[in-house]
Amino acid sequence: MKRHFFGSILLLFPLFSAGCSSDNFVMIFSGAEDERNAYLYQRLYERFPNYEIIIQSVGSGTVFTKLANEGVRSDCDIFYDLDITNAAQLNSMEDDGHKVLANLSSLEFTPPSYDSSVTSLTGIEDNFLVNCKTDLVFIVNHEVLEENNLPVPSSFADLTNPVYRGYIQMPNPQSSGTGYGFYNGMASLYGKEAALSYFREFGPNVTEFTSSGSVPLKSLDRGEIGIAIGMLWQGYQYELKNPDLEVIIPEEGCPYNLFTMGMVDTHELRPAAFDVFRFLVEELNYDQTLRFTSDVIYENQGASLTEGYPTDVKEIPMKGLKDPAYKKDLLDSWEF
């Protein structure tokens, strides 16, 4: 199999000239995938035609790094799709006498009613709100597997089989919330040391630990690999478009990660920025959940708009989702 290097991609979605001095200018740092960012931008433009809105698309890890370094001086008004552990760490940080994250409890908006599975992990007292859950699976390309006489795996344990060497891609836990979710899933399932042993067997089968969570699926769709670690929702959307692809719900259950949205402190005082955030929280994020991410975060959440999306998926009980020290310990031990 060919080896490929994948770097981070920076995308802008402007329909106006960016003028940071404008009272109507709003900057969103987003770790979401391109299709979700495009949908958000379309809806925001329709709702706020007189605002200058830019969605700057960067990985979740980069969103954290930029806000940690820039603090309240950041151009960012709103962050979106920042993994929950990084959000928890940002919430403990200060910059020039200010908390980095705005105090959501002081703002006038209606917070969502969350499903019981996430209520202990989100709330305005955290100064961030969960915007999606991503169950993690693996997706196979049957054409590639058949051409190379490879069996279809049914479990994460199967992926350590040396016959898959050179046929798998996985996002890098150091740069991707999806990759970290899978790594933490194995640690939550087996314990840290056993998880590291798992990855020592699994790692040689991986062609690339990619910087983005979406890259493995794109490679799979092009037939460059046979197996991709990815998100359940995105895998199903790819499967509907490509009959060679199939989402496999692993026998062990699905690891998952949670991602968050919030505001940078003092930026909530700008009416345009707060208008956009309130619309995002009270309406738009619910709509994108049904259209894209689909895994349940809201109380009485409606049916997914993705055809055939599973409604009852076994999940691995995840550890340390809001614990930056736990995440640091895992990432410090990552060997690839």
Q: pLDDT tens digits, residue range 35-52? A: 999 999 999 999 999 999
**For residue 319, with 0-12 CB atoms within 10 Å meaning exposed, 13-18 middle and 19 or more buried, which class applies?**
middle
3-state helix, strand, coil in the chain (%, to 5): 40, 20, 40
Whether the CB-CB separation of 27 and 51 falls below 8 Å is answered with: no
Q: What was the pLDDT predicted at 1? A: 33
Q: What was the pLDDT predicted at 3? A: 29
Q: What was the pLDDT predicted at 22? A: 73
Domains and CATH numbers, the chain: 11-132+258-293 (3.40.190.10), 133-256+313-332 (3.40.190.10)
Nearest to 140, CA basis, from 217, 226, 216: 226
Nearest to 141, CA basis, from 210, 211, 241, 208: 241
**For residue 36, with 0-12 CB atoms within 10 Å meaning exposed, 13-18 middle and 19 or more buried, which class applies?**
buried
Q: Supply the pTM of this predicted model.
A: 0.89
* Per-residue confidence in pLDDT tens, the chain, 336 aa: 332 222 333 444 443 333 444 789 999 999 999 999 999 999 999 999 999 999 999 878 889 999 999 999 999 999 999 999 999 999 999 988 889 999 999 999 999 999 999 998 888 889 999 999 999 999 999 999 999 999 999 999 999 999 999 999 999 999 888 999 999 999 999 999 999 999 999 999 999 999 888 899 999 999 999 999 999 999 999 999 999 999 999 999 999 999 999 999 999 999 999 999 999 999 999 999 999 999 999 999 999 999 889 988 999 999 999 999 999 999 999 999
